[in-house]
Structure 1
Amino acid sequence: MATQAPPPTPAQLREEAEPTERSQPIPLIVAGITLAMVLAGAGYILFSEPFGAPALGDQRTVADLSGPPVGAAVDGKQVYTANCVACHQATGAGLPNVFPPLDGSEWVTGEPRVLANILLHGVTGELTVKGATYKGAMPSFAQLGDAELAAVASYVRASWSNKAEPVDAELVAAERKAVVRDKPFNGDAELKTLAAGGN
C-alpha cells in the first residue's frame, strides 16, 4: 500500500515556484537596453583613436618630462618662480617691511659680482634697498648650478623696470671658487666691502 505525502505546511504554501526562462522570460525592454549598451561600448572602442581623444589627459611629452638637454639655455624666469617668487613676488616688489624689492634694487642692478655672491652665500642682518632698511635673512642658493644662478640673476637684472646687463655662468663659477664663506654676508657693510673689490 503506497504512502501518501504529508500535506504542505503554511510556510510551504507561501513559497512560489522557481522562475524558469519559459515561464518568466527577461522583459524585452531590459534585453533591448542591455544590447544597446553593449553595441554602444563596442562602437566607441572600434571608432575612437588608439590613445583616446587628444584633448583629454596629460599632454606632456617625453621631452617635456626629461627637462632641458645638457648645454641648453636655462630659463631664468622658471628658476625665479621656483625659488624666489614666494618672498620677492612675481612683480619683483617684495613685501613691504618684510622682503626687499628686486625691482629697482641697487644690489640687483649694480655690480654683477655682488649679486652672484648674494645668491651663492645669502644675506642676513640690516640691508638697505631703495632707502628702506630690511632686517631678515636670505638663504644661500649655492645648491643651484652656475648656469641656473646666472639665468636667475640675468632675469631679475632685466625684468620689471631693471635694465642691467646679463650675468654669465663663468662669473658665477669664478665667484663660487674665489669667495669661500660658511655664513651669509652681514648686511650692507659686508656687501659694500665686496662691491669695493674685497671678499
Structure 2
Amino acid sequence: MSDISRNDRAQRRENRDPQESFNPVPRLMLGLIGVLFGWALFYIYTARPATFPSLGDRRSAEVLAAVPARAVDGEQIFGANCVACHQASGAGIPLVFPPLAGSAWVDGSEHVLIQILLHGIKGSIEVAGSTFNGEMPAFGEKLGDAEIAAVASYIRSQWGNQAGPVTAETVQDQRKLTGGRSTPWNGGAELATLK
C-alpha cells in the first residue's frame, strides 16, 4: 500500500471545513430589536430628563419644605472633618496636631471655640502644656451654624471634657460678630484676646 492511498483515505475520513453562507438575521430578532428601540425612545420621552433633579421623586417644593429636618450629628461631622488631625480619641498627634481632650480651648469659653471653628488658626498655640505651630482650616464657609454648634457640642462633651453644649444661635451671633474677618486667628496670643 502506498503512502498516497493512505493519505487519500485519511482525507476522506475528515469532514469538510465549515463555510459561512449567506444567512440573514432572523426576522424575529429584527422585530425584538425594533420593539426594544421603540420602548427606549418612549421611556426617554416620558422620563422628562429636563426637570429639576431635586424634584426627581415628583414631590413639590412645598412638600419638601414640610419634611422635618434631621438633627445634626456632631460626631459624624467630627468624623468627616476633624478626626484625621485630632484623632478619634481626641488625643491629636503629639507635636503635630493639638489634643482636644483636656484642652482649655475646648472646655473654656464657647465663643473662642466657635471662632476657632469659624476662622481657623495659624501660628503658635499652647494646648495641654505643649506648643503647636501649625494651621487649622476654617470651617465657617463649609459648615452652617447648626453643624458648627453640633461639632462644638460634641467635642465639649467627649474624652473627659465636661463643658456645656453650644447652640446654633450662639454660632450665628459669633459669625455676625466677626463676619468681616477673612484670615485665620494668629495663634493663641490673638485668641486669648477673645476671652
TM-score by length of 1: 0.65
Q: Please give the secondary structure, in 2, of the residue aligned with 1:81.
A: helix
Aligned to 1:88: 86
In the TM superposition, what are the counterparts of 1:30-109 in structure 2 within 5 Å?
70-109=68-107
Aligned residues: 139
- Deviation at 1:189? 1.1
Instruction: Read off the aligned partner of 1:181 and give its amino acid letter.
Output: R
Which string of whole-angstrom CA distances, capped at 9 and with x for unpartnered residues, describes residues 47-84 of structure 1? xxxxxxxxxxxxxxxxxxxxxx6532111000000000
Q: Distance in 1 between matches of 2:84 and 2:169?
A: 28
Structure 1 residue ranges, 4+ long, deviating more than 2 angstroms after superposition: 11-18, 69-72
List alignment gaps of at least 5 residues for structure 1: 1-6, 19-68
Indicate yes or no: 2:150 matched with 1:157: no
Aligned to 1:111: 109
Distance 1:158 1:164 in 2: 6
1:185 match: secondary structure: coil
RMSD: 2.0
Pair 147,16 (structure 1): closer, same or farther in 2 beyond 3 Å: same
Residues 120-159 of structure 1: pairs in structure 2 closer than 5 A: 120-142=118-140, 143-159=142-158
**Secondary structure at 1:91 match in 2:** coil
Q: Could you report, residue by residue, the CA deviation over 1:123-167 in whole angstroms, capped at 9, with x for unpaired residues? A: 010000011100000000111111111000000000011010000
CA distance in 2 between partners of 1:16 and 1:96 (Å): 81
Work out the CA distance in 2 between the residues paired with 1:73 and 1:152. 12
